């Protein structure tokens, strides 16, 4: 009889230790998920937007804007100096200051 009780105690201890290790695995998995989501949050937001609307946010799209001639000249000068297209300069400036 005593052996069976010890056996049951050992089984309970094994079950408890198994549950603890499963909880630790879940905890580390949740931490990993949070880390990945934090690192790639913008990508997840864009993919979610695509799922809802079928609109691709990471693609480039042509628009027409009106700027003062002085600004256009400065953008062309900056473009020649850096080798970047004017649209890329505007995009980077907007992203840096407003997005």
Domain span at residue 72? 60-99
- Euclidean distance between the first and the last CA atom of the chain, given in angstroms as a whole number: 72
Residue 11 has pLDDT above 60, yes or no: no
Please tell me the pTM assigned to this model.
0.50
**Inter-CA distances, 9 with 4, 6, 16, Å:** 8, 5, 10
- Work out the angle between the directed axes of helices 41-53 and 2-39 (0-180°, nearest 10): 80
Cβ(85)–Cβ(78) below 8 Å = no
Tell me the pLDDT tens digit for each residue of 22-69.
666 677 888 888 899 899 998 999 899 999 999 888 788 899 999 999
73 and 90 within one domain? yes
80 and 39 within one domain? no
52 and 65 within one domain? no
82 and 46 within one domain? no
């Amino acid at each position: 009889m005593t052996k069976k009780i010890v056996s049951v105690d050992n089984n309970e201890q094994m079950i408890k230790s198994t549950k603890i290790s499963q909880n630790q695995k879940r905890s580390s998995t949740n931490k990993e998920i949070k880390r990945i989501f934090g690192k790639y949050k913008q990508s997840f937001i864009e993919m979610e937007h695509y799922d809802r609307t079928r609109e691709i946010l990471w693609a480039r799209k042509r628009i027409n804007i009106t700027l003062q001639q002085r600004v256009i000249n400065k953008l062309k000068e900056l473009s020649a100096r850096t080798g970047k297209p004017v649209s890329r300069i505007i995009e980077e400036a907007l992203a840096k200051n407003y997005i």
